[in-house]
Chains A and B, each alone.
Chain A
Amino acid sequence: MPNSSKRAQFERVVLPHLNAAYNLARWLTRDDHDAQDVLQESSMRAYQYLDGFHGDSAKSWLLTIVRHTCYSWLEKNRPAALTTVFDEQLHGAGGDGPHADNTVPADGPEALLQQKQERHQVQRWLEELPVEFREVVVLRELEGLSYKEIGEIAAIPIGTVMSRLSRGRNLLQRKLNGTVDEES
C-alpha cells in the first residue's frame, strides 16, 4: 500500500478512537507521561499492522493493541504495577460472602458523592483496583463496551469478563459503603 493511502487509512481507522486509546492507557498506567509513551508506541504498532485490520470495529482493534502495549510496557518499566499483592481480606471476602454486596448506605452514594472529597475517592478507588479488574470496569463503564468486545480486547472468555466485572464492582461497592477501612 502506498504510504499516502496508508496514512489516510490510519486517519480514518485509528484517529477517531485516539481518545479511547489514551483513556485506556491512562487508566492502566495511572500516569500521564507513561500513558503518552504507550499511546505513541501503540499508534506506531497500529500503523504497522494496519494492513491486517479487516474487522468491523476499529475501536476494539485499536484498544486490543493499546492493552497489549500497556502490559508489555508495564512489565518492562513498572513490574510492581502488575504484581500488586491484593489485600486478601478485601479480595477474598470481596464478592462471595452472603453479605458482601448488599449493604446500601442510608442516603445512597449519590448523597455521599455530594461531598467533593468523595469524588476524588471514587477516582482513587478505581485507580487502586488490581489491573485485571480495573480494565474491565473502565472498558464497561467509561467506554460502554459489550462483554463480547471486552472479552476480545482482554483476550478472556465472556464468563471471565462477567466475573471480573462483578469482583471489581464488589470492591468498589465496599469502599463506597465505607465497610472496609484503610487498614484492613
Chain B
Amino acid sequence: MSCEHTQQLLDAYVDGELDVEKSLAIEQHLSACPACRKRHEARRWVRVAVQSQARYFTVPDPAVRRIQAHLDKAGGGGRTLPARWLSLAATAAIAALLGSGTTFWIGRTSSEDLLTQEAVANHSRSLMVAGRITDISSSDQHTVKPWFNGRVDFSPLVVDLTAQGFALVGGRLDYLDNHPVAALVYRHRQHLINLFVWPDDKSAAAPMRAFARHGYHVLHWSGGGMRYWAVSDLNPADLKAFGELLATQG
C-alpha cells in the first residue's frame, strides 16, 4: 500500500472501521515506513488527548425535572412519577425489565433471554442509584479481590486492565440468576462496564455471545469454571475487545 493510500485510510484504521485485508495491508506498510508510523502515532495521540481531556457533559437534574413536568402536562396519563432523576431512571430500568419480561413469558423463553434482561436491569440500577455502582472503590485488584472473601463463596478473577484502556473502578455484590454474584466495574472512556461473575455449574467453557438490549450491549462467556456477563453502553467492538482481554486472563 502506498503512503498516500495509507494516509487516506489512517483514520478508518485507528477507528477499527477497515476490513481485515485492508488493516493488514496498513500494518504491513506501517512496519516498513517510518514516516507513516509517525503519522499513525500522532493520530493515536490526538485521540487520547480528546478522549481523556474533552468533557462528557451529563444532564443536570433540574433539566430532567422540567422534561418530566412537560410530559406530565402533555401526556396527561395520570402517572405520578418520582420527581428525582435517579428514581425516575430506576423506574425506567424496572419498566424495561417488566416490559420485556412480558414478552418473555408470552413468547419464546430461554434462560439466556432472562439473564440478559436481569443483567441489563442490574446494570441500569447500578448506574442510576447514587453510590450504588461500587461497594468497594479501588483500581487496585489486590484490594478489590479480597473484599469478596466471605461475601461470596467463590473467588472471582479481578484484573486491572488500565494499561489496555479499561480501568478497574471497583466491585460490589449483586444478585443474578438466583445467585449472589461479584460485580466488577470497569471504565472505558466515559463508559462504565459491569462485569458479573459467578461459578459455572457446567464444566465446559462456552464461547462468547453478544446481544443488544435497550441500547446496552451484553457479552457473555464462560471459562475456568466461571460465568462472565458484561453489560455496557460501550460500542460492541470495544466491549468485545474487553471480553477477549479478560478471557485470555482467565
Contact = CB atoms under 8 A, between A and B. Distances in A.
B58 A23 contact: yes
B161 to A, nearest CB: 17
A57 B214 CA distance: 8
Interface string B37-61: 0110111011111111111111110
A146 B235 contact: yes
Interface residues of A, number: 63
Contacts of A6: 75, 77
Nearest to B232: A144
Contact of A11 (B51, B76, B88): B88
A21 B215 CA distance: 13
A169 B70 contact: no
Interface of A is mostly: helix
Mostly, the B contact residues are helix
B45 A108 contact: yes
A142 B51 contact: yes
A173 B10 CA distance: 14
A42 B139 CA distance: 38
B55 A123 contact: yes
Contact of B75 (A3, A19, A32, A40): A3
B59 A18 contact: yes
B234 A144 contact: yes
A27 interface: yes
Interface string B58-86: 11101110110011001111110000000
Interface string B172-197: 00000000000000000111000000
B216 A16 contact: yes
Nearest to A174: B46
Interface stretch (A69-77, A84-92, A97-105): A97-105
B236 to A, nearest CB: 9
Contacts of B42: 101-104, 173, 177
B56 A142 contact: yes
Interface stretch (B90-98, B129-137, B152-160): B90-98
A35 B92 contact: no
A144 B235 contact: yes
Interface string B1-32: 00000010011100101000000000000000
B77 A109 contact: no
A146 B17 contact: yes
Given A59-B215, A109-B45, A141 B38 contact: no
Nearest to A146: B235
Interface string B216-250: 10000000000000000111011000000000000
Given A21-B59, A123-B54, A11 B77 contact: no
10 contacts: A8-B99, A12-B95, A22-B58, A44-B70, A104-B42, A108-B45, A113-B52, A122-B49, A166-B10, A177-B42
Interface of A: 2-4, 6-8, 10-13, 15-23, 26-27, 32, 35-36, 39-40, 43-44, 47, 56-59, 101-104, 108-110, 113, 118-119, 122-123, 126, 137-138, 140-142, 144-147, 162, 165-166, 169, 172-173, 176-177
Given A3-B77, A11-B95, A44-B67, 12 more contacts: A16-B214, A19-B57, A36-B62, A40-B70, A47-B75, A102-B39, A104-B45, A108-B41, A110-B45, A142-B50, A146-B17, A176-B49
